[in-house]
Structure 1
Amino acid sequence: MKGTLWCLHGAVGQAADWQGLAVPGWAVKRVDLWRFLACCPMSMPEFGRALNAEAVADGRSQIADGLSSAIHHLPSTISRNVLVGYSMGARLGLHALLDGGPWDAAVLIAPNPGLESGAERAARREGDAEWAGRALSGEWDDFLDAWNAQPVLAGTGGGHRARLSVHFRREVARSFMDWSLGAQESLWGRLGEIACPVLWCTGERDGKFTALAERAVPALRQGELWIAPGSGHRVPWDAPEAFRAKLGEFLERALS
């Protein structure tokens, strides 16, 4: 086994969204982001630290397993960790990368490094507060329909739609507050701090996030931009075969 892909889903998504992802030689850890908000509020930097601590603990467990294997004369390897994040998950992933952590590479799909004016952030917080209210107390199916109908998401995903259970409405509402783009400090000036190789992905039909990517990637130490042909915002589900192929090729090249 080469390592583990730590996959972070998007807003109103779920860990199961990554079920179709498979890359030969790599384990896939589908991270449930809602468990981080189940207890209490958590800021984005706090999430980054929490995820990094979890990944470090997982690595220590692998080392212990490797030593046990060595004692019994079995082949052992210490696997690598790759952070894979989509949209909100990619924004959260940026915080984990900037906190350090045991990341050998990262694949970020359509993140926004941040809004740069106080007015923009205030407007986004106001809009996300409305989404939070709809998620917490509105009809859940109506909320999901409205979410999926947003211009950035409508007509994308190859039939992939947010189908999260109403059981998570409290955590989703909290995410619109704690993990709102309006609550996020601008990370544009810090992208150069990320040391590991990064594949930054957007869809060809996702003009807004492609423009953000074209600005962000040159600021990275080891950044690479991939624009998925024919894809919208939901790249892994709009172009699943192309995404898996690009992911495998990137990992083979970046970590060889």
Structure 2
Amino acid sequence: MVIEHFLRTHRSPKIMIYALHGALGQASDWNHLAVDLKAQNQRLAKIDLWQFLACCPMPLSKFGAAFNREVQDKSPVILGYSMGGRLALHALLDQPKRWRKAVIVSAHTGLPSSERSQRQAKDAEWAAKALKGHWEEFLQEWNEQSVLSGISMPDRSQLKKRREAVARSFMDWSVGAQDDLLPRLSGINCPVLWVVGERDTKFLEVAKQAVSVLQQGELCVVPDCGHRVPWEKPEIFSAKVQEFLEQ
């Protein structure tokens, strides 16, 4: 796994942060943050989530345990954006005492049961487009969603090579396939910084509810910002993460 390679090739840092990218994301999305944190003697392990789906299905119910088996540090920090934020929550809930701190960005805690089948059907459509559709048209349609307005992400042409894993993520890691985690968040006992953009109103409401039940939850609302906080407001995001880590 990428995690093992990273640990073999880096000396022990002040703090080790495991960063989980979003849907249609890639590990390199965290390059800017990695540079900022390195200046503070903090290392960022940029996790390639597609490796968890490279050969076979990986349901959300099993991801947390699978990921935690890869983590060797005694007191690590987990950071997850959007889909990666939901996956990070599963890792936290699987072993809440393992993690020193967590940063959750623009993530959903889960849908009511009445809405899940509709979301799964929509994500099945995305999966089909990712697997069989014209790649550039698929990317364009994905980025035209109103929730993702505000900034374009780096080139995703290389992800075409991983399209089977990307397609599988829309099935295995769909929010429609996820239990509502909100009632379980009180079981996370480490400090959690929940970051959300001010203009991302749907996820802002989710964030407020999540922070209200976490034992040590802190809400950070980034002004004049949408869903893609770490890339739309990178300086603000980096500064807030560093401040949180140093507390």
TM-score over 0.5 (shorter chain): yes
* Pair 1:87 & 2:103 matched: no
1:126 partner letter: A
Give how far 1:162 is off. 6.1
SS at match of 1:165: helix
Equivalent residue for 2:22, pick from 6, 10, 23? 10
Equivalent residue for 2:111, pick from 99, 112, 115? 115
Equivalent residue for 1:103, pick from 99, 104, 108? 99
Residues in 2 aligned to 1:19 and 1:239: alpha-carbon distance in whole angstroms: 14
Give how far 1:201 is off. 0.4
User: Which aligned pairs between 1:131-142 and structure 2 lie closer than 5 A?
Assistant: 131-142=126-137
Q: Cα deviations across residues 139-185 of structure 1 (Å, max 9, x unaligned)?
A: 0000001111100002x23x425615210110011000000001001
Judge conservation of contact 1:144–1:162 (CA < 8 Å) in 2: no
1:92 partner letter: L
Judge conservation of contact 1:107–1:201 (CA < 8 Å) in 2: yes
* Pair 1:208 & 2:224 matched: no
* Pair 1:50 & 2:73 matched: no
Judge conservation of contact 1:12–1:162 (CA < 8 Å) in 2: no
Judge conservation of contact 2:29–2:154 (CA < 8 Å) in 1: no
Residues in 1 aligned to 2:107 and 2:175: alpha-carbon distance in whole angstroms: 10
Q: Cα deviations across residues 43-99 of structure 1 (Å, max 9, x unaligned)?
A: 1121111111111xx23xxxxxxxxxxxxxxxxxx7x31100000000000000000
Judge conservation of contact 2:18–2:78 (CA < 8 Å) in 1: yes
Judge conservation of contact 1:13–1:162 (CA < 8 Å) in 2: no
- Counterparts in 2 of 1:174 and 1:162: CA distance versus 1, 3 Å: farther
Equivalent residue for 2:153, pick from 142, 150, 160? 160
SS at match of 1:12: coil
TM-score (norm 1): 0.87
2:126 partner letter: W
Structure 2: any 5+ residue segments left out of the alignment?
1-12
Equivalent residue for 1:128, pick from 100, 120, 123? 123
TM-score (norm 2): 0.90
* Pair 1:197 & 2:191 matched: yes
